[in-house]
Structure 1
Amino acid sequence: MTDSKIYQSLVCLDVYQGNRFIKFLQSPYFNKKELIAQLVIYLLECHRVEHEPDKLIFWATNQTSDYDDAAFRRLCNEAIELLEEFLTIEQLRSNKYLRSHLLLEGIDTYQVTALYKGTIRKAQQIKEDRINMTNLLFDFLIERDIRQIEQADSKRYEKSTLDILSNKLDTYYIIEKLRIYSLVYWQKSFLKEEYKIHLIDQILEFLKSDPFPNNYIINLYYHNLLMLVEPEKEEYFLEYKKLLLNYAVEFLPNEAFRLIYNAINYSIRKLNQGQRIFRREIWELYKFALESNILIDSKNFDHWDYRNIVTAALQENEYGWAREFIDKYKEYLEPDQRENAFHFNLALLNFYEKKYDEVVDLLNSVEYTDLTYNLNAKVLLIATYYELDEIDALESSLSSFKTYIYRKDIVSEDRRKLYNNYVSFLQKIIQNQGNQSKLIKLRQDVEQVKNIASKPWLLEKINELIGEKTQA
């Protein structure tokens, strides 16, 4: 039964949600079949004790008749329908805007005039702790509901609310248009899809006059789009970042981190174009997302963010901060990636700190189950042997690594080229030590080839041999 739709749905509920669902099923207002509640209790208990559920055992325990497969399937379908209703009610209870909108519609539909005044007052006092785009729509709908109720009562009808109603609709509509067009523009970088977004040109032209100077939500999404459309104008990025630092905490964590990540991606593209100043921007944006609890609360934090943050901090020589981060945020990593990510990033920190013996110990202390970590760990170990001047270990590692990337079927052709170039150029660096002209030519070759792992480090080693200092 573990592959059944009802079981797979129930295991998504936490303990508290499961208990509330049972109470929901035990209410005759929602459910008149006790057997459905018994089925849900049985399945949740099986999940709790990690026991395989058995439909025949359930039937024999709760029914006196012989097992009826068709009846059992109907029972499961009814349980699913009730679960869907329960989830709807859970969402309704958690959303004050939606609840207020439906209540206003209800008292208007049933003409419960005694509730008009109090319900309208409560609706006008609603304020969420964080901004939710859906609630901007409900904000408009509530204003419309209030106007509709007041319009029915000529004594309470106020014409002045029309501009408020219009402004709330404009706010929601413009923001959603900007969000959609930003997504379209972002997707253009990797998808060959053509979209026709009506009225976007008119909206952008309208926004040039700054018609909403005090609406930071519109201004934030507007500058996000300008940053994407005209990336060469860094003033748009700077204004967007300024708005982010001031107002990102006002949004729900998921949306807040999405907005921050847009700025991080912009900074990464600038960094890839050779603008090293954006390394600091990447670190500061990640640091802001962490310190304001946006990244963790958004539940988007994973081992890749963990590594990106460590790398950004190390590139800014923030070694103490990086060490504290590695230890503090280990617990938030996915269990199946935790040890891989922790040991690799700790090794990376020690590499930057030139504690090469510790790097070797850390990299050899864990079996990297993830392919990307495995490949990156091998690259880091090779670089460490080079720094330690352990030539035998270095040459052996280079040879075995090259064999590894060509034997592994799961290594893509692009990745194979990336790491093969790393091995090839490092071998040439070793072979041409002391030959200035060949090293200068080798540096030119490395600079021209795009697909190389650890390219900045390779250039740093070449420049050291030539006698020039460079920043990796």
Structure 2
Amino acid sequence: MVEIVSALSRKEMRDIQKWLQSPAHNQRQDVIRLFDYLVKNTGREEGLDNAEKEEAWSAVFPDQPYDDAYMRQVMYFLLKSIEEYLAFTEFTGDKVQYQLGLIRIYRKRKLEKAYKQAHRLGSDSLEKQPLRNGYYLLNKFFLEQEEHEHRMAITQNAPANLQEAADAFEKWFLEERLRISKDMLAHHRIYQKISYNHGLLEEALLYANRNKMLEEPAIAVYYYTYMALINPSEEEYFEKLEHYIHNHMECFDPSEVRTLYLAALNYCAAKVNQGHLDYCRKALKFYRQGLDTAILIENNQITRYLFSNAVAFAMKIGEFDWAESFIESYQQYLEEKHRNGTVNFSLSRLYFEKGDYDKAQRYLVEFEYDDMLQNIVAKTMLLKIYYEQDELDAFESLLESLRIYLRRKEALDPARKAAYKNLISLMKKLLHLNPYSKAQTERLRQLVETTNPLMERDWLLRQLEGRR
């Protein structure tokens, strides 16, 4: 209860005080006094222990000895009253749900005129609100279902709207099936030991594509997201997803939009890792739009991974000014415990790409990164610095250190681990390459071009180009 009260806004606290004053909701003065006490003493995240309960008791019952059982009873009634208020405001705050509640009440009471008015208002509210996502499709079904129940209650021979109800339910099911499957796929790629049963997914994909279901924005956007992630080489799916993200996001609530941005950015990252640098510009367009609308900022925070990836995309295509401005403007949104490491990691990347190896190396050496992937990227940058500055002993030592580090990190995505293992192998070959043998250089160049997966392919090729 203390946790709930502490999470209330000042307006909610004032409204609950009014709520408790109403005899329809509460008839106990001790409940009111206990709530007033808690409001004055908000900030505790834990529950009341015995000492704190006795303190609260003294404020509520100043002239009576402490009674733990009675105190628990007062706390129970207050908690129930607060929960009733929260449920009421949640319900009445949604015009569509509010009207659906009235529709059910009037239908069950056979109040024909009131039912028709409530149904009309419910339909109008649903169509006027901007969302065209699962919320819209499900409530569309509920309205059709209520109309069916209403007609059947009047007479068995009433014109049925079963087709409308079935169509509405079908659209909602397809949207949810595709949305959840998209989340399953994304989760499995991070935690590969977890497997999911996708049920009717294959049938849903075929049905959606064959029955004009892709005209529905909510179905289309999750269909194209899933297809883009499962078939990354067929870029037309991503192009469709890109179109929806840039042009139809008003159809979805912010949390849904955020997941779609993340899916698109993950797709771009995978394509960039394959050498398709044009996807850096696509990614930065998502970042600019997502930052301008605050979609990528959740609870006034941006994750360190989103932050670092934004800088990485910019670096790959020479957008140094944008990266520097981004680091300066958005570091305030990083969680405090990760801010220092993430900012310094990003600055080291920036200075490295600008060719200021001394500054880059200073940031890289001074900070130990607690994130596994950042650690690997930082070590890779150091390797490139050591090689380009001809510090070959340090290069060879760090190469072996990175090899051991990768071997120990079982949680690293297998494809990414393989790409880094291949990089280490080719870096070793580069280290021991005979600088006077054009044949050896050419063989290694061909190996670099054909090895997959591989990190830092472009850097390796540049080093070999310098030997010609």
TM-score by length of 2: 0.77
Task: Report how many aligned residue pairs link the two structures.
Answer: 454
Query: 1:61 maps to which residue?
Result: 59
2:91/2:98 contact within 8 Å kept: yes
Query: 2:318 maps to which residue?
Result: 317
1:170 equivalent to 2:165? Answer no
SS in 2 for 1:104: helix
SS in 2 for 1:466: coil
Bigger Cα displacement from structure 2, 16-25 vs 246-255: 16-25
- Work out the CA distance in 2 between the residues paired with 1:97 and 1:209: 31
Q: Which residue identity lines up with residue 180 of structure 1 in the other structure?
A: I
SS in 2 for 1:295: coil
- Work out the CA distance in 2 between the residues paired with 1:278 and 1:232: 13
- Work out the CA distance in 2 between the residues paired with 1:364 and 1:100: 62
1:249/1:294 contact within 8 Å kept: no
Q: CA RMSD in A?
A: 4.4
1:439/1:462 contact within 8 Å kept: no
Deviation at 1:141, TM superposition (A): 0.9
Query: 2:266 maps to which residue?
Result: 265
- Work out the CA distance in 2 between the residues paired with 1:171 and 1:424: 51
Query: 1:197 maps to which residue?
Result: 199
Query: 2:96 maps to which residue?
Result: 97
Deviation at 1:137, TM superposition (A): 1.1
Deviation at 1:361, TM superposition (A): 5.7
- Work out the CA distance in 2 between the residues paired with 1:210 and 1:424: 51
- Work out the CA distance in 1 between the residues paired with 2:231 and 2:382: 41
- Work out the CA distance in 1 between the residues paired with 2:233 and 2:367: 44
Residues 1:209 and 1:372: Cα distance change in structure 2 (over 3 Å): closer
1:72 equivalent to 2:53? Answer no
Residues 1:397 and 1:212: Cα distance change in structure 2 (over 3 Å): closer
Question: C-alpha offsets along residues 279-300 of structure 1, whole Å, 9 cap, x if unaligned?
Answer: 4443333344334443236878
Bigger Cα displacement from structure 2, 457-466 vs 220-229: 457-466
1:257/1:298 contact within 8 Å kept: no
SS in 2 for 1:47: coil
Question: C-alpha offsets along residues 27-48 of structure 1, whole Å, 9 cap, x if unaligned?
Answer: 3322333333443443443334
Unpaired segments ≥5 residues, structure 1: 1-5, 468-472
1:254/1:298 contact within 8 Å kept: no
Residues 1:90 and 1:463: Cα distance change in structure 2 (over 3 Å): farther
Deviation at 1:229, TM superposition (A): 4.4
1:7 equivalent to 2:17? Answer no
- For residue 42 of structure 1, the aligned residue among 16, 29, 37 is 37
Query: 1:121 maps to which residue?
Result: 120
Deviation at 1:305, TM superposition (A): 0.7
1:88 equivalent to 2:87? Answer yes
- Work out the CA distance in 1 between the residues paired with 2:141 and 2:374: 49
Deviation at 1:464, TM superposition (A): 5.0
Query: 1:343 maps to which residue?
Result: 344
- Work out the CA distance in 1 between the residues paired with 2:252 and 2:401: 49
Residues 1:40 and 1:218: Cα distance change in structure 2 (over 3 Å): same
- Work out the CA distance in 1 between the residues paired with 2:323 and 2:271: 23
Question: C-alpha offsets along residues 34-92 of structure 1, whole Å, 9 cap, x if unaligned?
Answer: 33344344344333499997222212222233223333344444444344333322321
SS in 2 for 1:28: coil
Unpaired segments ≥5 residues, structure 2: none
- Work out the CA distance in 2 between the residues paired with 1:178 and 1:112: 39
Residues 1:234 and 1:430: Cα distance change in structure 2 (over 3 Å): closer
Residues 1:450 and 1:353: Cα distance change in structure 2 (over 3 Å): same
Deviation at 1:202, TM superposition (A): 4.1
Map 1:295-306 → 2, pairs under 5 A: 295-296=296-297, 301-306=302-307
1:439/1:466 contact within 8 Å kept: yes
- Work out the CA distance in 2 between the residues paired with 1:114 and 1:138: 22
Deviation at 1:180, TM superposition (A): 3.2
Q: Which residue identity lines up with residue 55 of structure 2 in the other structure?
A: I
- Work out the CA distance in 2 between the residues paired with 1:35 and 1:165: 50
Residues 1:151 and 1:427: Cα distance change in structure 2 (over 3 Å): closer
Deviation at 1:98, TM superposition (A): 1.4
Residues 1:123 and 1:287: Cα distance change in structure 2 (over 3 Å): same
Deviation at 1:251, TM superposition (A): 0.7
SS in 1 for 2:114: helix
- Work out the CA distance in 1 between the residues paired with 2:374 and 2:228: 33
2:277/2:317 contact within 8 Å kept: no
Residues 1:368 and 1:84: Cα distance change in structure 2 (over 3 Å): same
Q: Which residue identity lines up with residue 65 of structure 1 in the other structure?
A: Q
Deviation at 1:100, TM superposition (A): 1.4
Q: Which residue identity lines up with residue 97 of structure 2 in the other structure?
A: L
Residues 1:228 and 1:13: Cα distance change in structure 2 (over 3 Å): same
SS in 2 for 1:337: helix
- % same residue: 24
Bigger Cα displacement from structure 2, 95-104 vs 230-239: 230-239
Query: 2:251 maps to which residue?
Result: 250
Question: C-alpha offsets along residues 274-322 of structure 1, whole Å, 9 cap, x if unaligned?
Answer: 5444444433333443344432368783121111122112212222222
Q: Which residue identity lines up with residue 70 of structure 2 in the other structure?
A: A
Residues 1:222 and 1:38: Cα distance change in structure 2 (over 3 Å): same
- Work out the CA distance in 1 between the residues paired with 2:17 and 2:402: 53
- Work out the CA distance in 1 between the residues paired with 2:239 and 2:259: 17
Q: Which residue identity lines up with residue 240 of structure 2 in the other structure?
A: E
- Work out the CA distance in 1 between the residues paired with 2:181 and 2:411: 31
Map 1:48-447 → 2, pairs under 5 A: 48=43, 54-63=52-61, 64-113=63-112, 115-126=114-125, 127-149=128-150, 159=159, 162-187=162-187, 189=189, 190-195=192-197, 197-198=199-200, 200-212=201-213, 214-296=215-297, 301-360=302-361, 376-377=377-378, 380=381, 383-384=384-385, 389=389, 391=391, 412=409, 434=435, 436=437
- Work out the CA distance in 2 between the residues paired with 1:398 and 1:41: 68
1:432/1:438 contact within 8 Å kept: yes
- Work out the CA distance in 2 between the residues paired with 1:26 and 1:58: 20
Question: C-alpha offsets along residues 209-246 of structure 1, whole Å, 9 cap, x if unaligned?
Answer: 34346322222223333334444433223233323332
Residues 1:267 and 1:79: Cα distance change in structure 2 (over 3 Å): same
- Work out the CA distance in 2 between the residues paired with 1:62 and 1:401: 68
Deviation at 1:135, TM superposition (A): 3.8
Q: Which residue identity lines up with residue 56 of structure 2 in the other structure?
A: F
- Work out the CA distance in 1 between the residues paired with 2:332 and 2:203: 48
TM-score by length of 1: 0.76
Q: Which residue identity lines up with residue 26 of structure 2 in the other structure?
A: N
